[in-house]
Each structure stands twice: as structure tokens, then as C-alpha cells.
Structure 1
Amino acid sequence: MSTLPVLQIRTTPTLLSIDADPGQFSIRQPKAEVQLNTRPAKLTVESHPMRLSVDQSKAFSAYTGGNMIDMNARIYSGIQQIFLQNMAERVQQGNELAAIHKPGNTIANIIGSDWQARLFPETRTPASSGNVETRVYTQAPDINFTPAVSEMNVIVNRPEIEYNRGKLDIYVKQYASIQYTPPAIDIGF
């Protein structure tokens, strides 16, 4: 029995080699710039001076008689009063002289008591602690307040992004091959 010859086929696969490094990101963001402006609060107080009013006219009237018009008016009304009192006393004396028949109503008794001088009318007003009037006028101060104002300005810097690509090398490390080995043929006759 004879055997059939066998053909040998040998293959080698293709080998690929991949060498890769990843890419790198670089991110940098500068700090934000902050500008702060503040206007301070302002308080102004304007005070008004006090005003003092002193009215001493009644006191001067009590010391010196005051102005001429008022003093003349007091003298006139005082003389009028003294005149009326004197007239009443003269009427009284006349009535007593008319009744001379009564005991004790003698001319010496009636007229003799009238030897004292009459006082001139008072030219001054009565003295009193209330003759000087004082008044103090005050005014509330003007107060103005301006509140503080703060202004903030923020400048944001954008991030700076850089990307460095990695490498990617693909190459064939081994090529595919097919090898045929024919059978040995024995030709023997």
C-alpha cells in the first residue's frame, strides 16, 4: 500500500507593534483681578448759634421811670388820682367845717391836720423779679448723612489651555508568510 504524499504548509502571522504615549493637557488660569473702591461715609452737622433775647424795659422802667412817654403817662394818671383824693379831702373838710357846732370840730382841728406835703406821683413802675424777660431761641442742627458706597470690579482671566499630543507609532514587527514544503517524491522504478 502506498501512502499519499503530504504537502506541508507553514504560515506565520503578521505582528503589528503599537507604541503610544497619551497626550497631556496643561491648564493654567491667572488669578482674577479685584478692584475695590470705597467712598467713605460723610456726616456733616451744621449747628446754628443760639439767640438770647433779654428784654429789660420793665426793669429800666422800675429803676429810672422808663421812656418819657410812659413816665409822663404815669405822672398824669398819678396827678389825676392825687387831685381826686385832695378834692375828696377838701369836701370832707368842708363838711366838717359846716358842722362846726359839733364839739371837736374846730378850725384848728380840721385845717391843722393838713400840714403834710403831698407826694408827687410815682414815676417808676413797681420793682419785681419778673421785670427782666429772657428768651433763648434754639434751632435744631442740620444733619446730613451720606452713606458709604463700595464698588467692586472683578476682572476674570480666562483659563489658558494647552494640549501636547502624544505619539502613536504603529509598525509591522513581523510580516505574514506562507511556506510550502512539497512532499518528497520517490520515483523509483
Structure 2
Amino acid sequence: MQGILQIRQTPAVINIDADPGTYSISQPKAEVNISTTPGRLDVESSRPKLTIDQSQARAAYNGGTVLEMNERIYSGIQQLYLQGIARRMEQGTRMAEFFKPGNTIAEIYGTDTEPNSFPNPCGPASYDNVDIRFDTSAPQLNYRPAEVNIQVDRHEPEIEYTRGKLDIYMQQYASVEFTPPEINMQI
């Protein structure tokens, strides 16, 4: 009798159960601090100055100060004196030439009847006797520009990784089973 040897083989089955890992990324907001120094404008201005000089007008109205009036009288008398000397010299020259027609004593001294006037103690009258001066100065400007200071504190990102699960196990082991043929023992 022949028997057939039976071989039964079961393959191994490996089971893998895997879940992927997860990333968690978070980043806190940056902190921004802004500080501002305001600009400043300083303006310094001085008052305008008005100067009125009426000394020439006063001199024309009433002679001005006593010193000015005396000076004008003195210089005027000096001028009149020099003019009188010049006139007398001219008359003397004409008298020396008495033989010429028109140089008689009556003609030379007879016509000199005008009195010598006293010098004018007042100054000359003019529309421009009052001096008006208006002095202004430009304002001084000091400007300081505004300043802006910005500080940023940034935060690094926070990264967390959670590993996934990985289970590897044998769901079925490999096996080989031999079944021998039946042996008849009756023989």
C-alpha cells in the first residue's frame, strides 16, 4: 500500500498597525512696543523797535537844544563877520580907485545902508526833518523732529511632535503539518 504523505503549510501572517505621528506648531504673537517722542518747535521773536528822531524838526521849530542853538549862532556870526570883512575890503579897494567913475564916497558908503542880520538860531526847515526807523529781526526757529522707537520681541515657534503608534505582531505563525499515510496494521 502506498500512502500519500500530506504536508500542509500555513504561511506566517505579520500584522502592522501604524498611526502616523502628529506635529503641533504654535507661535505666540510678537510683542511690539512703540514709543514716540513728539517733535518740538520753538519760536523766539523779539519785538520790533520803532525809533523816531525829531531833533532836526525841533531845531527847525525852536532852535533845538541850547548847545545846538549857540553853535548855529556862533557859526553864523563867524560867517557874517567874514562877509563883513570881505565887504569892507571891497569897499576899500573901490575907495583906492576913487578916480574911476562910480567910486565916490557917496556911492560906496551911501548904498551900504542895510543892517547886518543876526544869524538864524533855528535849523533848516524840511519835509525830511523827522527820521523814522523801524527795526525788525527775523524770528529764531529751533526745531527738533519727532522720534519713533519701535521694539519688537518675537517668539520662536513651539513645535511638538507626538509619535504615532506602531504595533507589529504575528497574527498567524507559520506552521508545517505532516500527515503520514495511514498504516494498515492488519497486515
**Is the TM value for this pair above 0.5?**
yes
- Which AA in structure 2 matches 1:14? A
SS at match of 1:36: strand
Residues 1:25 and 2:23 are matched in the alignment = yes
Aligned mate of 2:141, from 133, 143, 153: 143
Residue of structure 2 equivalent to 1:185: 183
SS at match of 1:79: helix
- Which AA in structure 2 matches 1:23? G
Residue of structure 2 equivalent to 1:129: 127
- Which AA in structure 2 matches 1:152? I
- Which AA in structure 2 matches 1:37? S
**Deviations 1:92-128 (CA, angstroms, capped at 9, x unpaired):** 899999xxxxxxxxx9999998777654321001111
Percent identity over the alignment is 51
SS at match of 2:128: helix
Aligned residues: 187
Residue of structure 2 equivalent to 1:65: 63
After TM superposition, the structure 1 = structure 2 runs for residues 36-115 of structure 1, keeping only pairs within 5 Å, are: 36-83=34-81
CA spacing shift, 1:186–1:95, aligned 2, 3 Å:
closer
Q: Distance in 1 between matches of 2:19 and 2:87?
A: 146
CA spacing shift, 1:122–1:185, aligned 2, 3 Å:
same
Residue of structure 2 equivalent to 1:157: 155
1:178 Cα deviation (Å)? 1.7
Q: Distance in 1 between matches of 2:9 and 2:170?
A: 16
RMSD: 3.3
SS at match of 1:126: coil
**Deviations 1:44-90 (CA, angstroms, capped at 9, x unpaired):** 11112222222222111111212222211221233344455666777
1:151 Cα deviation (Å)? 0.9
Give the TM-score of the pair, scaled to structure 1.
0.77
Residue of structure 1 equivalent to 2:101: none
In structure 2, list runs of 5 or more residues that go unmatched: 96-104
SS at match of 1:127: coil
The farther-off stretch of 17-26 and 130-139 is: 130-139
